[in-house]
Amino acid sequence: MGVRILQLSDLHLFADPDGILFGIPTRTLLRDVLAHVEASGLQPDHVVVTGDHTHDELPATYAAVRELLVPYLDRLHVVPGNHDDRAGLRAAFPDCIGGAGPDRCTFAFEADGWLCLGLDTQIPGEVPGRIGEEQLGWVRAQIAERQPRGVILFMHHQPVVLDVAWLDAIGVEDKAALQELLEEEPRIRLVCCGHVHHESTHRVGAADVVTVPSTGLQFSPTSDETEFVAAPPGYRVIELDGDDCRTSVVRLPDVKFAPVQPT
Ligand SMILES: [Fe+2]
Compute the distance from residue 149 Cα to the ligand 1 centre, in Å: 31
Does the residue 62 lie in any domain?
Answer: yes
Does the residue 260 lie in any domain?
Answer: no
Does the residue 176 lie in any domain?
Answer: yes
Task: Give the total number of structural domains in the chain.
Answer: 1
Structural domain boundaries enclosing 84? 3-251
Does the residue 17 lie in any domain?
Answer: yes
The predicted pLDDT at position 100 comes to 62
- Helix, strand, coil percentages in the chain from 3-state DSSP, rounded to 5: 25, 30, 45
Residue 215: give its domain's CATH number: 3.60.21.10
Does the residue 257 lie in any domain?
Answer: no
For residue 80, which of 92, 64, 68, 67 has the smallest C-alpha distance? 92
Question: Is residue 18 predicted with pLDDT exceeding 80?
Answer: yes
The predicted pLDDT at position 98 comes to 84
Does the residue 147 lie in any domain?
Answer: yes
For 229-257, the pLDDT digits (tens) are 999 999 999 999 999 999 999 999 999 99
Confidence of residue 102 (pLDDT cuts 50, 70, 90): low
Compute the distance from residue 24 Cα to the ligand 1 centre, in Å: 13
Compute the distance from residue 10 Cα to the ligand 1 centre, in Å: 4
Question: What count of other Cβ atoms lies within 10 Å of the Cβ of residue 177?
Answer: 16
Compute the distance from residue 106 Cα to the ligand 1 centre, in Å: 18
Mean pLDDT, rounded, for 70-88: 97
Does the residue 262 lie in any domain?
Answer: no
Compute the distance from residue 141 Cα to the ligand 1 centre, in Å: 30
Does the residue 258 lie in any domain?
Answer: no
Mean pLDDT, rounded, for 143-164: 98
What pTM does this model have?
0.97
For 202-224, the pLDDT digits (tens) are 999 999 999 999 999 999 999 99
Compute the distance from residue 255 Cα to the ligand 1 centre, in Å: 19
Compute the distance from residue 156 Cα to the ligand 1 centre, in Å: 8
